[in-house]
Amino acid sequence: MSAKEELQRLVDLLSDYECENLLGTVRKVAVGERFWETDISILYNEQVKTRSTGISPSSASTIPTIPATEEGLFLPIPIVKAYKSVPRIELPLPGYPDISLTKTILRRRSRREYNGKAISLHQLSTLLQLACGTTGFLPGYDYDRLPLRTFPSAGGLQSPEVYLSVQAVSGVPSGLYHYHLVDHALECLSPGDHSLTLSTLALGQPYLDAAAVVILISGYYERVRWKYGERAYRYMCMDAGFLAENLYLAAEALELGACAIAGFVDDAVERFLGIDGQDEMALLLVSVGVTDEVTPLAAPATPA
Ligand SMILES: Cc1cc2nc3c(=O)[nH]c(=O)nc-3n(C[C@H](O)[C@H](O)[C@H](O)COP(=O)(O)O)c2cc1C
């Protein structure tokens, strides 16, 4: 059957409505309106969609072969990122606020008005444990003890990494730190007050410099890409979202204010963190600070 005959056969299968839509698309393409040239995110999504037809542009070619050993699945990029030979601060045991989840969820807000006061090391420890701490271990990916966290992640691969610009935490020198998820410790990457740098990196958003701490969440793309191919980019963004919501709720429970910040200069933040922007990329900042907005909190909002 010639291509023309094949096309005719397909068109005959379509309803008048479907023909109208198809014709509309063909006309747009004919005058040069190609959606993939103006919106790379639609192109990406079309590329990674799993389709009911079973045919996806990305199917076989972009999903890498999953490395397996005799014992099982091998994880090429370790989940626990650690910085050797840098000063560390062991975080104290967290203490959990006595507040119901319902109340915490109902009163969560983005809070940006910080009064510049310091939070305690104990509050920081609790915030990190609730938002992204380790809560268990399971054998997996050829590891005997694969850590599990307070947030879910695609394949249990825990794509987010957590960095902190400590700006006002009692007993902790200001500086850029990395959170060691198993040791529940801070690894100092660059001492000093980075609050003004961060405000600048966040396109001048002014409230960052009065925050007690700014948490910088990256996505370790390579940690998920080997398993899910290009679709992993989606999963990585979702993982970061789950972690960020935990941060919001933990801050709220501690009567602190938190605000997500996605407006920032990516390459500058990545240079600041010392990550390459490809294997590991900056995804989201979350400022946390003491705020007078948190009137020990008013009655929770009731749904309209
Ligand atoms: C992905 C994401 C990015 C955001 N980026 C910013 C930001 O760059 N600056 C900011 O002030 N707020 C930012 N926000 C906070 C939103 O503005 C806020 O969630 C929204 O206005 C709803 O208010 P609420 O969180 O108090 O309910 C962001 C929120 C999300 C989820």
User: Do the domain assignments include residue 62?
Assistant: no
Q: What is the pLDDT of residue 294?
A: 62
Taking the model in full, what pTM does it have? 0.85
Q: What's the CATH number where 142 sits?
A: 3.40.109.10
* Contact of 218 with 275, CB cutoff 8 Å: yes
Number of folded domains in the chain? 2
Q: Does the residue 260 lie in any domain?
A: yes
Q: Which atom of ligand 1 is nearest to the CA of 203?
A: 8
Q: How big, in percent rounded to 5, are the helix, strand and coil portions of the chain? A: 40, 20, 40
Q: Are residues 104 and 27 in the same domain?
A: no
Q: Is 244 in the pocket of ligand 1 (CB under 6 A)?
A: no
- The residues, any chain, with a CB within 8 Å of residue 236's CB and separated by 6 or more, are 154, 159, 160, 219, 220, 221, 224, 283
Q: What is the mean pLDDT of each run of 10 residues along the chain (304 residues)?
A: 90 90 83 73 86 62 59 77 96 95 96 96 98 95 91 97 98 97 98 95 92 98 94 97 98 97 97 97 98 64 60
The answer as to whether 66 is a domain residue is: no
Q: Burial of 46 by CB count in 10 Å (0-12 exposed, 13-18 middle, 19+ buried)?
A: middle
242 in the same domain as 101: yes
Domain assignment present for 14: yes
Ligand 1 nearest-atom number relative to CA 244 = 31
Question: In a 3-state reduction of DSSP, which class is residue 160?
Answer: strand
DSSP characters over 173-224:
-SEEEEEETTTTEEEEEEES--HHHHHHHTTT-GGGGGSSEEEEEEEEHHHH
Let me know whether 256 and 115 are in one domain: yes
Q: Give the SS3 label for residue 259.
A: strand
Instruction: Say if residue 181 is in the same domain as residue 42.
Output: no
- Cα of 120 vs centre of ligand 1, distance in Å, is 25
Cα–Cα distance measured from residue 290 to residue 298, given in angstroms and rounded to the nearest whole number: 16
Q: Is 180:147 a contact under the CB 8 Å cutoff?
A: no
**Residue 40, pLDDT score:** 85
Round to whole Å and give the CA distance between 209 and 187.
21
Range of the domain at 41: 3-51
Residue of 111, 217, 259, 288 with the most ligand 1 atoms within 8 Å of its CB, for mutation: 259
Same domain, residue pair 258 and 130: yes
User: Are 116 and 257 contained in the same domain?
Assistant: yes
95 in the Ramachandran plot: left (φ > 0), alpha (ψ -120 to 50) or beta? beta
Ligand 1 atom 17 nearest Cα: 110
- Amino acid 293 reads E
| Mutual angle of helices 40-48 and 232-253, in 10-degree steps | 110
Residue 73 in domain: no
Residue written as token pair 């961060």: 198
Residue 226 lies in a domain: yes
Residue matched to tokens 């660059």: 190
Residues 199 and 247 in one domain: yes
Whether the CB of 240 sits within 6 Å of ligand 1: no
Are 148 and 257 in the same domain?
yes
Q: Please tell me the distance from the alpha carbon of residue 253 to that of residue 130, in angstroms, as a whole number.
A: 10
* 137 in the same domain as 235: yes
Query: Burial, 65: exposed, middle or buried (Cβ in 10 Å; 0-12, 13-18, 19+)?
Result: exposed
Q: Is 109 in the pocket of ligand 1 (CB under 6 A)?
A: yes
Same domain? For 179 and 274 the reply is: yes
The answer to whether residue 58 sits within a structural domain is no
Name the residue at shortest CA distance from atom 19 of ligand 1: 110
Question: Residue 153 Cα, ligand 1 centroid: separation in angstroms?
Answer: 22
My answer on whether 27 and 104 are in the same domain is no
| pLDDT given for residue 33 in this prediction | 72
Q: How far is 111 from 258, CA to CA, in rounded Å? A: 5
